[in-house]
Amino acid sequence: MSIKVLGISTSPRASSNSDLLLQQALAGAESAGAETEYIGLRDLNIAPCIECNSCYKKGVCCVEDDYQMLSSKMLEADRLIFATPIFFMTVCAQAKALIDRCQCLWAHKYVLKQPLQTIGRDRRAMVIAVGGTKSKKMFDSVRLTAKYFLDVLEMNYAANLFVNKIDEPGQVKKHPSAMEEAFRLGRELAATDAPPPEKPVNVELT
């Protein structure tokens, strides 16, 4: 059975820099024999969490939209590649809306103490983020947010690809190594012959 890799592009813009890197990472995963699926949040209706806490009783979100479909796909996937542009030093609004809606999974695990049916599976994730400034702290918030997001999804945080000083549309295609690194990391993510890393492999490019 082939590894299922789900790629989620959170950018509001199609063919954005983070989107292009995601597609390259998925191509890398396919080259390793994985079955891949690409989803763009800009094509879905994912409302913000309304903090009603109804999920504390049943472990499911009462806001009905495309989240339910996407949540199922995230839990079914063996690998996740999550791509976001950097807005105000963190993930974009679309990415944060999806992450916040996973509060119901947190409640399922930590309030109701019920498993997510992923125990025993080798599930790994990679994060792609692209920013446009020179700040050395550009990706600090992304790392922390991703750590707890992936913990809720019960996925090993396997790799980061962070690219800085990229702002113009399509600019990342001219970066000397970003596209190559995305392909390589996507291929490595799909591999099953090596154990998951104890901490994320971190590739940060400027």
CB-based burial of residue 161 (10 Å sphere; 0-12 exposed, 13-18 middle, 19+ buried)?
buried
Q: Residue 201, SS3? A: strand
pLDDT at 1 over 80: no
pLDDT at 189 over 80: yes
Q: What is the pLDDT of residues 142-187, one digit of tens each?
A: 999 999 999 999 999 999 999 999 989 899 999 989 999 999 999 9
Range name among 34-43, 67-76, 114-123, 195-204 with the lowest pLDDT average: 114-123
Domain boundaries, the chain: 4-54+63-98+121-205
Rounded CA-CA distance 29/38 in Å is 12
Domain 4-54+63-98+121-205 has CATH 1.20.200.10: no
C-alpha angle with apex 141: 164 to 81, nearest 5 degrees? 70
Tokens standing for 154?
A: 């019960």
Reported confidence tier of residue 119, pLDDT bands at 50, 70, 90: confident
Reported confidence tier of residue 16, pLDDT bands at 50, 70, 90: very high
% of the chain exceeding 90 in pLDDT: 84
pLDDT at 134 over 90: no
